Structure 1
Amino acid sequence: MLISRRHVLAGAIAAPAVISFSRLANAATTLKISHQFPSSSGDEGDFRDRLVRKFAAEVEKRSNGELKFEIYPGSSLMKTNAQFSAMRKGALDMSLYPISYAGGEAPECNIGLMPCLVSSYAQGLAWKTKPVGEEFATYLDGKGIKIITWVWQAGGAASRERPLVTPADAKGMKIRGGSREMDLMLQAAGAAVLNLPSNELYVAMQTGACDAGITSSTSLISFRLEELSKNLATGKGKSYWFMLEPLLMSKTIFDKLPKAQQDLITTVGAEMEPFGLKGAQEDDVKVAEVFSKAGAKVSDLDDAVIEQWRTIARDTAWKDYAGKTALSAKLLKLAEEVQA
């Protein structure tokens, strides 16, 4: 076959277009999101997994496919407690993560599950634009973590035999509280405590290693704890247990993205917050229905009971946390300034 000069020139002219197209075809960045919660399907299932999927779909759509996501529910990519450290190192891109789980390597994070400090969703969500939220976000940024979506959840206590409502009920029980500060309050009430992520609660209660588990309403449902429990103290309306469970991103990964993609991620992340609030509040109601249907006795908390817990929390958890570092003391003081 003869190759004419015209063919050569045509090929040379076309080459940049081919190269350009090839570069565009490979331009997509895929981010991995890991979390401990069960997978969802469509509009059904754990709202935290649905929030992650909704976030991923919206970012991919608005970026015209330049940003794509792989989602790993149920700690299928890596173990729950390893996710925070992995994000700090840039080994994991994103996670929807109970922030108090990071307390071992970043003690100030335990403010995200400080008993009786936050008593309503409005109070918790107000942190974002208040000095406490700005200070906390700056602290996490320095640890290599960015908050993308602020999510708060109320929690309740599921127990195998005896109800766990008042501090007096806790005496002699083996209880999972969810953070060092929760554990300090429970121990002062006479309980033995267990330190484990909520996705391990079912087995702990099934084997008798745990008498009661305190966790978010959504986790109480998703991890099917009604199958093992005769009692539930709900977080509906009032609770001494409010946890910050934000969608987080590795700062190392975030900083490598173009400014337009960074802005898109933070914009869509903020847009997910009403969805997170709605999901949490709906599950506070749903959990009572699920446990009641399974035959459990359901109790709600009132102001008098909350104040009993708060009195203990101030003398134990709050005092211990404030004494850790100067920043801990500052964060606690700033959080107390945010009214319920």
Structure 2
Amino acid sequence: MKTQTARSALLAAVIFSPLSASAAEVEPITFKFAEWLPNTSFATEHGANPFMAKVEELSGGKMKFDFYPAEQLGRGSESLTLLQTGVADIANVSPAYISEKFPLSGVVELPEIVQGSCSAADSFYELAQPGGAIYEAEFKRHKIRPLWVGNMGQYRILTNNKDISSLDDLAGLRIRTAGGPMALTATELGASPVRMQGSDVLTSLSRGTLDGVFFPVRGILDYGLAPALDQLVPNLAVGSFGLTYSISDRVWNDLSQKQQDILVEAGKYAMQTYCEYVDTSDPENINVLVQEHDIRKTPLSDSDLKEARAKLENVYDQWAERLEERGLPARKVIEGMQ
């Protein structure tokens, strides 16, 4: 995995890229960019927006975007279809929402595999580029390729009107997950997983049809969920959520080498600006939940934490075994992320 120094060097290399000096050679083009997240999302603010700005900068304003956030072109589960049908040229394809099509990409949803957003993004990016295990098994088959990738950092357990003073208190609780490995995690911890997109969570919490969520801390603020939650377990990471900002092969193959190079460089830049934000902002966002929304932190005891981690080892085994039976290199992908 890349060190912080190496990542900083990569970011500096992108910032001072010679590509901008040859922008006169770039043919004009406007991309339709579908983003299911809202403009207020931290992924949009620190990822998608910097990406678009960097592309325009490197191309001398010749490569532009028609940007459609907040599910204007389709829901998160429809992003792949948007690319394949030509409705969009670039889209935020989130494997958790279509895990049947991107099962290996769900590796970032395994509990505690994302220790740092940047290190996890760097590892996934390598696996999802041509020649990598995830690209060859999934992205290539669906005729798309990631320009940059990210994750939403560590997901925590948050509940409403359900006191979690021990691991046993999770038994039977209806917990929102994004599906895939995160659902396995909820089951291993004794909870009942409910697969649901983020945009539907607030209504379910307010109606009492959910008892809690597996969610990133900043995402709680972005989706306005804080008033419907009152407790946070801060010391157990129950997974993460992957983002792949991908372009269709149909569009990619029609681009010039210069246009492709600009998209790649801008993607690397956006990947670094985004993951560095995620890695540095978590403590501040937890403090906002505690100080401004009266959500109390209740960490698991050392003994409960040890028991939880022992249970979660089973999630790795179950996930890998199911995919290996289908001929997919799940254990190789896990190794590539560690």
Shorter-chain TM band: 0.7 to 0.9
Which of these residues, 101, 105, 114, is aligned with residue 105 of structure 1?
Answer: 101
Q: Note if contact 1:185-1:317 (Cα within 8 Å) is conserved in structure 2.
A: no
Residue in 2 that maps onto 1:240: 238
Cα separation, 1, equivalents of 2:183 and 2:94:
16
SS of the residue 1:175 aligns to? strand
Report the alpha carbon displacement of residue 173 of structure 1 after superposing the two structures with TM: 0.6
Residue in 2 that maps onto 1:262: 260
Residue in 1 that maps onto 2:214: 214
Cα separation, 2, equivalents of 1:194 and 1:309:
20
Report the alpha carbon displacement of residue 327 of structure 1 after superposing the two structures with TM: 7.0
Structure 1: gaps (5+ residues) = 1-23
Deviation readout 1:288-329 (Å, 9 max, x if unpaired): 122112111124568765553343233245314432345775
1:91 aligns with 2:55: no
Report the alpha carbon displacement of residue 142 of structure 1 after superposing the two structures with TM: 2.7
Residue in 1 that maps onto 2:269: 271
Structural mapping, 1:54-133, within 5 Å: 54-121=50-117, 123-128=119-124
Cα separation, 1, equivalents of 2:192 and 2:36:
25
| TM-aligned CA distance change 1:302 to 1:270, over 3 Å | farther
Q: Matched residue pairs, number?
A: 308
Q: Note if contact 1:177-1:214 (Cα within 8 Å) is conserved in structure 2.
A: yes
Report the alpha carbon displacement of residue 99 of structure 1 after superposing the two structures with TM: 2.5
- The amino acid of 2:148's aligned partner reads T
Cα separation, 1, equivalents of 2:255 and 2:245:
18
Residue in 1 that maps onto 2:7: none
Q: Note if contact 1:48-1:96 (Cα within 8 Å) is conserved in structure 2.
A: no
| TM-aligned CA distance change 1:282 to 1:261, over 3 Å | same
Residue in 1 that maps onto 2:12: none
TM-score normalised by length of structure 2 = 0.80
SS of the residue 1:33 aligns to? strand
Residue in 2 that maps onto 1:291: 289
Q: Note if contact 1:166-1:309 (Cα within 8 Å) is conserved in structure 2.
A: no
Q: Note if contact 2:117-2:276 (Cα within 8 Å) is conserved in structure 1.
A: no
Residue in 2 that maps onto 1:151: 150
Cα separation, 2, equivalents of 1:29 and 1:122:
30
1:323 aligns with 2:322: yes
Cα separation, 1, equivalents of 2:88 and 2:326:
27
Structure 2: gaps (5+ residues) = 1-23
Cα separation, 1, equivalents of 2:217 and 2:296:
16
TM-score normalised by length of structure 1 = 0.80
Cα separation, 1, equivalents of 2:254 and 2:166:
49
| TM-aligned CA distance change 1:129 to 1:83, over 3 Å | closer
Which region of structure 1 is more displaced relative to structure 2, 100-109 or 308-317? 308-317
Structure with higher Rg: it is 1
Q: Note if contact 1:165-1:233 (Cα within 8 Å) is conserved in structure 2.
A: no
Cα separation, 1, equivalents of 2:158 and 2:70:
21
Query: Structure 1 vs Structure 2: percent identity of aligned residues?
Result: 15
- The amino acid of 1:192's aligned partner reads S
- The amino acid of 1:295's aligned partner reads D
Deviation readout 1:49-70 (Å, 9 max, x if unpaired): 4421121122122213332102
| TM-aligned CA distance change 1:187 to 1:57, over 3 Å | same
Report the alpha carbon displacement of residue 131 of structure 1 after superposing the two structures with TM: 5.7
Deviation readout 1:158-188 (Å, 9 max, x if unpaired): 2111245864232121001212221122123
Q: RMSD of the alignment, in Å? A: 2.8
